[in-house]
Amino acid sequence: QKVTAFAPATVANVSCGFDILGFAIEDLGDKVSVALSDKPGVRVVKIEGDNGKLPYESEKNTCSVAVKAMVEDLGFEGGLEIELYKGLPLGSGMGSSAASAVAALVATNTLLGNPYEKKDLLPFGIESERIACGAGHADNISPSLLGGFVLIREYQPLDVIPLHVPRGLYCTLIHPHLELNTSDSRSVLRRNVTLQDATTQSGNIAGLVAGLFQEDMALISRSLNDVIAEPSRSILIPGYDEVKVGIVPAGALGCGISGSGPTLFVLSPTEEIAWEVSRLSQQVFDKLQLPIDLYVSAIN
Ligand code: HSE
């Protein structure tokens, strides 16, 4: 018996919400199949689409780390074999490790007769992020598992809040062909934040959440600013400033680094503008002679 599940790519942080905001992307993601086995233990038996870069060791692979945390909690002592089909590039900032872990958790939960409600799988996914990038952040795992736009109000105890999303909100993802791993791009962050920056950031988070609920695109636009992570991280991403300046006249709401980068995300109030943003971004990166992939997705 084998169960296959898909989990989507995600945009974490969403500018101002470092480690506390994220949303899911449609159609782009990873697939994982899990099958029962006579041999006890959790094993990764197949990985495709990673160019041989991901580990098979069950203590290192995000799928098996998440599934092991789940079956240990459950007291399941049988055998499980995992096959991972990567649809997402590694080190891209699109929540690649989270999508693998979430797909593995959902497939295993289904295979074992749904012993957990969806949201109760979150802690196991967070455990796998700790292994993948040295920090148990939940802003990719939560939207990948629950879909839509989510807020992690608190980590201890975990309090994840689904947010309302206005109809017509679109995201353009611009993925330059560079790899940045999350632990490296976390290590460039300042350890301390000034009172003034904390105030500015809090105002923007509150403004973004209010803008989503009030369906106020102008307020969403004003709130897409990050004074904590972006200043240290954007210098690692060629083309960032040019895209940021170029999208405003096209009618986009704003942009930021997707998770820890190097992918950029741009929010737009219509699908048409989201495609125009992808055309403009292509021009920027053509000039830099840096290949990119572009995706446009609704946010629901
Ligand atoms: N919040 C995390 C970070 C997301 O910015 O490091 C990583 O995808």
Q: In which band, very low, low, confident or very high, does the pLDDT at 193 lie, cut at 50, 70 and 90?
A: very high
Q: Is 142 in the pocket of ligand 1 (CB under 6 A)?
A: no
CA of 226 to the centre of ligand 1 (A): 13
Q: Where are the alpha helices (DSSP H) in 114-194?
A: 122-133, 141-146, 182-187
Which DSSP letter does residue 92 get? S
**Ligand 1: which of 10, 13, 191 to mutate, judged by most atoms within 8 Å of the beta carbon?**
13
Q: Is 10 in the pocket of ligand 1 (CB under 6 A)?
A: no
Q: What is the reported pLDDT for 179?
A: 87
Is the pTM higher than 0.90? The answer reads yes
pLDDT in tens, 36-70: 999 999 999 999 999 999 999 999 999 999 999 99
pLDDT in tens, 64-97: 999 999 999 999 999 999 999 999 999 999 999 9
Q: Is 30 in the pocket of ligand 1 (CB under 6 A)?
A: no
Q: Which whole number is the average pLDDT over 147-175?
A: 97
The maximal CA–CA distance of the chain, rounded, in angstroms, is 60
Tell me if 223 is assigned to a ligand binding site: no
Q: Which whole number is the average pLDDT over 199-214?
A: 98
- Within 110-191, strands assigned E span 149-155, 158-163, 170-176
Q: Is 184 in the pocket of ligand 1 (CB under 6 A)?
A: no
Beta strands 170-176; 79-85: pairing state: unpaired
- Protein residue whose Cα sits closest to atom 1 of ligand 1: 19
pLDDT in tens, 275-288: 999 999 999 999 99
